[in-house]
Amino acid sequence: MANPVTNLRVEDKLYQNRYLVDSGRPHIKVRPHEQPSANLVALTLVCPAKCYESNDKGQVEITADGCMECGTCRVLCEASGEIEWNYPRGGFGVLFKFG
Ligand code: SF4
């Protein structure tokens, strides 16, 4: 007999997560820049929550709502100072249902 939980796709499981927005206090910020580095641009492709986007000037922006705290952007861009990365304040951020 098929197990309805294990047969779910990853996307379906991620949909079960909930996110509590800390309004006005994003836990990740992108340093203002004119031209983004290759790593910063890469975040628009590799962030699993699609938090990063390029604006019409080619600059990379973040909307941290929905961040899963996977740390990928932290590894790629924190050391260079291109982003400021912190965990959300207690009680805010992602609430994993199947994590
Ligand atoms: S920590 Fe992961 S999910 Fe959150 S913004 Fe960075 S890459 Fe995206």
Ligand 1 atom closest to the Cα of residue 71 is: 1
pLDDT band at 4 (very low <50, low <70, confident <90, very high): low
Q: Name which residue sits closest to atom 6 of ligand 1, judged by CA.
A: 73
- How do the domains of the chain map onto residue ranges? 26-95
Average pLDDT over residues 30-45: 98
Average pLDDT score over the chain? 92
Ligand 1 atom closest to the Cα of residue 64 is: 5
Higher-pLDDT residue of 86 and 7 is 86
Write down the pLDDT at residue 3: 62
> Which H or E run includes 73?
helix 72-77
Per-residue pLDDT tens over the stretch 56-65: 999 999 999 9
**Ligand 1 site, residue 53, Cβ cutoff 6 A:** no
**Ligand 1 site, residue 76, Cβ cutoff 6 A:** no
CATH class entry, domain 26-95: alpha beta
**Burial bucket for residue 23 (CB in 10 Å: 0-12, 13-18, 19+):** exposed
Q: What is the DSSP letter of 76?
A: H
pTM for the complete prediction? 0.87
Higher-pLDDT residue of 75 and 9 is 75
